Amino acid sequence: MTDFRQDKAIYRQMSDRLCDDILSGRYNAGDRIPSVRELSEMLEVNTNTVVRAYDQLTRQGIVFTRRGMGYFVSENARDIIMENRRREFMEERLPDLFRQMKLLGISMETVESLWKE
């Protein structure tokens, strides 16, 4: 059984993990990904949860279906994932990071010097 965090819906965590697998090269453009049944058995989750994850990825253009054959990685999946994650980082994580830096008195110069190390 796979450990899922409590702070995020399981289907979103599954989508994120599949995106990680695409970015890492485990799945490439045109590759078949596990079927709904295969993934639900591997992760010990309800098939409806897998369907939600795959529907989300399909709507985003990351995967597509071939009738009777399953789900496959889209040609531009990697670019879509990178664009989505960059946008999420810039809109959600970076502002919080800046707030924390300000509260802790950490300057951009300090961060820059650490970055260069």
What is the domain partition of the chain in residue ranges? 10-75, 79-116
Tell me which architecture the domain covering 10-75 has in CATH: Orthogonal Bundle (1.10)
Q: Which of 55, 25, 49, 20 has its CA nearest to residue 37?
A: 49
79-116 carries CATH number 1.10.287: yes
At 4 the pLDDT is 86
Contact 89, 81 (CB under 8 A): no
pTM, 2 dp: 0.80
- 70 phi-psi bin (left φ>0, alpha ψ -120 to 50, beta other): left
17 residue type, one letter: R
At 100 the pLDDT is 95
pLDDT in tens, the chain (117 residues): 468 888 899 999 999 999 999 999 999 999 999 999 999 999 999 999 999 999 999 999 999 999 999 999 999 999 999 999 999 999 999 999 999 999 999 999 999 999 998
> Apex CA 5: angle with CA 39 and CA 63, to 5°?
40
